[in-house]
Structure 1
Amino acid sequence: MTLRRRPPGHRPVLHILLSIAPIFVLIVLGHLLRRGGIPSLEFWNLNDRLVYWVLMPALLFNKTSTIVLAPSVVGAYAVVILGAFAAATVFGLLASKAAGLPGPVASSILQGAARHNTFIALAVAERLYGTEGLAIAAVATSLLIPTTNVTMVTLMVSLVRGPDEKRILTSILRDLARNPLILSVGLGVAWNILGNGPIPVVHDVTRLLGGAALPVVLLCVGANIHIRAMAASALPLLLSSLGKLAVFPLAIVALAQVMDLSQTETLVALLFGAVPTASSAYTLARQLGGDAPLMAAIVTLQTGLAFVTLPLTMALAAHFLG
């Protein structure tokens, strides 16, 4: 008697929930550790820098430099990922305008609707779909990181419209050009295209560092959650969550069908629409004069909602695609 193995995307809700549960346990653990001062607040601040400058760049370079970049797949993925990102961005802008909300509030709604937590998406992709899923997620990351950062900065400056907006925009774009995540993706893709294969020692080191990246960064995500910020007004929270957890995922599924992506490719792409907004959105809101307390509330609410919505979204999509 032979047992038929289910395709990777065809999994019941409980199985997906149990697979994803360790990721959210790490997030909660990070929050509890920081609240308890373990090991110290200074540790968590320095840990963020370690993740940003060393661990995540190592992971992204290693994956983007070694995956198979078929032009047809990358092109189709660009249409799906960037098209859905554009849909969520337009939704955030139009919803804020229709509600008559001021620029700082609108900028936070925009980030809440269209940004994504890369780290959670990569971690879930590996948990659910293994090495193949993580490699596909790296392709999506290489497309989204530069596009998201440049788009968000440009639109936020135009919404807030401070007196030094031109100087701020120039400064932020200069910082983006030195962003270690963007640079690591660019170097990885460039080395991949050259086709010279793994670099002795370098790829071994980046593989080891990358292995530490996801668990450490999930602890940092939890450490940066602000429960007290949840006192923000209901409408901006609703609009941003609707854009991120409904518009973005639905656009990905629709475009994936048009571009004829495989089931696994579609589900990995869907992760970037179904995960909560990025924790770094709070920092950007502070830099550009957005509504930082509202942004902290949006990040916290969406991260909490994702405990339920992420496994449910993935299970529904797997059923629909199956």
Structure 2
Amino acid sequence: MLTIFLAIAPVFALILMGYGLRRGGIPSTEFWNLNDRLVYWVLMPALFFAKISAADLSGGLGDYAMLLYAGFFAAILCGWLFGRGFAAPQASSLLQGSARFNTFIGLAIAEAVFGTTGLQIAVLGSALLVPVVNVTVVTLMTRQLGGGGKSIVRGLVKNPLILSILAGALFNFAGLKEVPVLHEIARILGSAALPIMLLCVGANLKIRGLSGDVRIIGLSVIGKFLINPLAVVLAAWVLAPDLLVFQVALIFAALPTGVASYTLAREMRGDAPLMATIITAQTLLSFITLPLTMLIGQAVLSLN
């Protein structure tokens, strides 16, 4: 437990640093807004492209995909069922809070705990999850809230993360894994992504003035931190995957909801203030739940 916590601690320290810097006005609010865009449009796509295009995909991703999708679909089903007792805007926030994840934190923790190999596996996990998660969530939210679906789908088609994943996969399958200059640029930009995005995650946390139905927040925590990891552990019990693959999949299952959930809630006329509360509460709670989940998951699988 101590070893895992110490490995993860710098990740959360950078998140807290980002929060403190923004609250202190350093250097400015506009700076953090521009950095968000830099990470989203340049640094993260570069990281995804560099890692996926050069990855060894010969071993197959079947078991890994099964673990990731087992956790996600179990959690989103839980969020959908829990939300049936609430008004549509609140139910849509519960849906996102139960199933979406913060890719940035996941990549950073995978690298911190398992090194370059862990980061590579986490990037592949993102490639498997990001398109499926976005399409599924948007489809269900459109059904809950009505309208706006077409414009959101058009936005997904232009999503730089999805486009970089597709570009990396095409390069990989075409055998163009290492293109001089192009891949060097992508790796340099990608290496800057993790520390900057962690600071931005912290800068986007909003602790003051938060409000929301405690029941919804609690139910989102159950879906995200209990149902999702439990489904991954059960799937691993059946599939008996490679240990490192299981550990990285468990990291994804235990991640807090990503900040993009707030933007989507606002654009689709969901309950954006409630979404902000869920994001902040889950991010702070994950300081404790994430290392604990990894420890329990490993212990349970070792009994198999």
Q: Structure 1-normalised TM-score?
A: 0.92
Between 1:129-138 and 1:294-303, the stretch displaced more is 129-138
Alignment match, 1:9: none
* Equivalent position to 2:290, from 310, 314, 322: 310
1:83 is matched with 70
For 2:177 and 2:159, the matched residues in 1 are separated by 25
Corresponding residue for 1:61? Answer: 49
Please say if residues 229 and 293 of structure 1, whose CA atoms lie closer than 8 Å, have aligned partners that are also in contact. no
Matched, 1:112 2:100: no
Amino acid at match of 1:258: V
Residue 5 of structure 1 corresponds to which residue in structure 2? none
Match of 2:21 in 1: 33
Q: Does the 8 A contact of 1:115 with 1:278 survive in 2? A: yes
Instruction: Summarize the Cα distance change of 1:229–1:88 in structure 2 as closer, same or farther, 3 Å threshold.
Output: farther
State the match for 1:232 in structure 2: 212
Aligned partner letter, 1:24: F
2:144 maps to what in 1?
159
Q: Which residue of 164, 169, 172 maps to 2:149?
A: 169
Alignment partner, residue 88 of structure 2: 103
The letter of the residue matching 2:99 is A
Residues in 1 aligned to 2:271 and 2:177: alpha-carbon distance in whole angstroms: 46
Is 1:216 the counterpart of 2:196? The answer is yes
Amino acid at match of 2:230: L
Aligned counterparts of 1:220 and 1:301: Cα–Cα separation in 2 = 17
* Equivalent of residue 44 in structure 1, options 21, 25, 32: 32
Tell me, which stretches of 5 or more residues in structure 2 are unaligned? none
Structure 1: 4+ residue segments shifted above 4 A: none
* Residue aligning to 1:123: 108
Q: How many percent of aligned residue pairs carry the same amino acid? A: 52
Distance 2:20 2:226 in 1: 29
Native 8 Å contact 1:149 1:176 kept in 2: yes
Residue by residue over 1:217-264, the C-alpha shift from the partner in whole angstroms, topping out at 9 and shown as x without a partner, is 000000111102533121000000110011001111111222221111
User: Residue 222 of structure 2 aligns with which residue?
Assistant: 242
Q: Distance in 1 between matches of 2:176 and 2:186?
A: 17
SS at match of 2:210: helix
- What's the CA shift for 1:205? 0.9
**Structure 1 residue 287 displacement after superposition:** 0.3
Aligned to 2:173: 193
CA distance in 2, matches of 1:312, 1:134: 20
In structure 2, what is the Cα distance between the partners aligned to 1:185 and 1:154?
A: 21
Secondary structure at the aligned position of 2:74 is classed as helix
TM-score by length of 2: 0.97
In 2, Cα distance between equivalents of 1:199 and 1:256: 37
Cα deviation, 1:63-98, whole Å, max 9, x if unaligned, reads 1111111353x122222211221111100011111x
2:253 pairs with one of 267, 273, 276: 273
Q: Deviation at 1:189? A: 1.1
Residue 7 of structure 2 is aligned to residue 22 of structure 1: no
**Does the 8 Å CA contact 1:154/1:169 hold for their aligned counterparts?**
yes
Aligned residue pairs total 302
1:111, 1:152 within 8 Å by CA — same for their partners in 2? yes
